[in-house]
Amino acid sequence: MMFRVWDTTLMICFSVSLMFVGADSITALPPPENLTFKWETPFTLNLTWEKPKDLRQNCKVNYTVEVRHSQNCSEKPKLDNSQTRRVQNTSCKFNISNVNGLCISVTVNPENCGNKNPSPPLERSLSRPKVLLVTNRSYEYSHERLKCTWTPVADIQDLSFYYWSHKNETVIKCNEQKIGECIIHSAFLKDEPEMFYLFNGTSNGERVNNTFRDERPPHYVKLNKPKLKIQRSGNTLLFKTEASDLNEFKSCCYICNYTYSMCDKIPQERLRNDCEDGNEVVVDYDSNCKYTARVQIIFSERCGAGKSDPSDEVEYGENRDPKLLALLAVIIIPLIVSCCLIVSLVLLRRHKDIIFPKIPEPTLIFKDILINNIRTTEDLRSPADDRLYVPLEEIVESKISLEPEAPLVLNTTDKQV
């Protein structure tokens, strides 16, 4: 029994010793030292630091450098709000803006240091500029021309605007600057990976710089307003887009976005068509509906971003009730027949003597025929075979009187005979 207690005690002591040895073998590396920075240009930040002094000679390390667009290092970093690099040397350069301040951190990572963990980060914050010079920045790009607009915040008379050219690695001043506006002309704008802008001026006797980082110019494409035409082809309608500036980028970068409604129905229907397949779409046509349509050119996300203003609204056809024709037929056809009947009766009454002439009595007709058939000797000599029938003129006595019949008296001469 005593031997078992002794064995158990030895095992516990051995396990505790292993835990302390393992904990000592997986400790973190020491952080870097003497982190400093220097602005080589208004947009280029040069960072330097020193390797930890108490590293073992055979320990090989690298460094993770992170720069966040916030002067508060306690904030959680975001993917769109930071830049991170892993380097072997003790220096690093970033093209970055300072308008929101910066938080810089450097971490030592082990490569061949046994079971060591990365070091705690060495952090340093850079405060934001004391004065914000401009706000409401916006951009419009088209055909090697970038229009930049902004709203001045502070009343600074000597406000100047610059931009960074990656190709030439120089800071270029805007030569076409107006109040709240500048136009940049360059054949390399659409090839820039990103854009950096500098605003500087004097505020309260102190020089102030504001630098901004923005997307590349193709993310701010502004297209001309298109025109829409509607043509009918049989039982279909053809929506055709006419645009004048779809030649700077590949045809696959442009999308025609059609919005139309029929019979004033809501919601409206939308059609998307890649302009590389042709600037037109076909829809079914209903002759009883009015079509209202417009088109907008969208710059595809695979090429950048941007769009045109919607075209003017175009209408085709008119709204009609499909039962209207049958209703009109039921009402109008009987009305037309009634009108025609009334007109016929009026005309018949007015012209009855012409339409229905007076027919003579039959006795007179036979007598007239009989007389006309008696031919004289002169008539027989006539070369004409037939004669026209000439009816007898009917004599109507205007005044008729009756006299008593006289008695018959015989003459003496008659008696003698």
pLDDT tens digits in sequence order for the chain, 417 residues long: 444 444 555 455 444 443 443 444 468 899 999 999 999 989 899 999 999 988 888 889 999 999 998 888 887 766 667 889 999 999 999 989 989 899 999 999 999 888 889 999 999 999 999 889 999 999 999 999 999 999 988 778 788 999 988 877 888 998 888 889 999 998 889 889 899 999 998 888 888 999 999 999 999 999 999 999 999 988 899 999 888 888 899 888 998 888 888 888 776 777 777 766 667 888 889 888 889 999 999 999 989 999 999 999 999 988 776 555 555 566 778 888 888 888 888 877 777 677 767 666 666 566 666 666 555 545 545 555 455 555 555 555 555 565 666 554 444 444 443
CATH superfamily of 33-126: Immunoglobulins (2.60.40.10)
Residues 376-404 as b or e (16 or more Cβ within 10 Å = b): eeeeeeeeeeeeeeeeeeeeeeeeeeeee
Topology given in CATH for the domain delimited by 224-316:
Immunoglobulin-like (2.60.40)
pTM: predicted TM-score of the whole model, two decimal places? 0.66
The CA distance from 291 to 232, in Å, is 11
Cα angle vertex 269, ends 266, 271, to 5°? 170
Locate 40 and state its tokens: 């080589």
The CA distance from 236 to 234, in Å, is 6
- Amino acid 354: pLDDT: 73
| Domain assignments of the chain as residue spans, ordered by start | 33-126, 134-220, 224-316, 324-355
The CA distance from 96 to 286, in Å, is 58
Phi and psi for 349 in degrees, rounded to 5?
A: -70, -35
One-character DSSP codes across 120-172: PPEEEEEPPPSS--EEEEEEEE-SSEEEEEEEE-S--TT-EEEEEETTTTEEE
Tell me if 33-126 shares its fold with 134-220.
yes
- Parallel/antiparallel/unpaired status of strands 91-95 and 82-87: unpaired
The CA distance from 43 to 213, in Å, is 9
Residue for token digits 């835990």?
A: 19
Instruction: Reply yes or no on domain 134-220 having CATH 3.40.710.10.
Output: no
Q: Which of 232, 252, 228, 254 is nearest to 241 (CA)?
A: 228
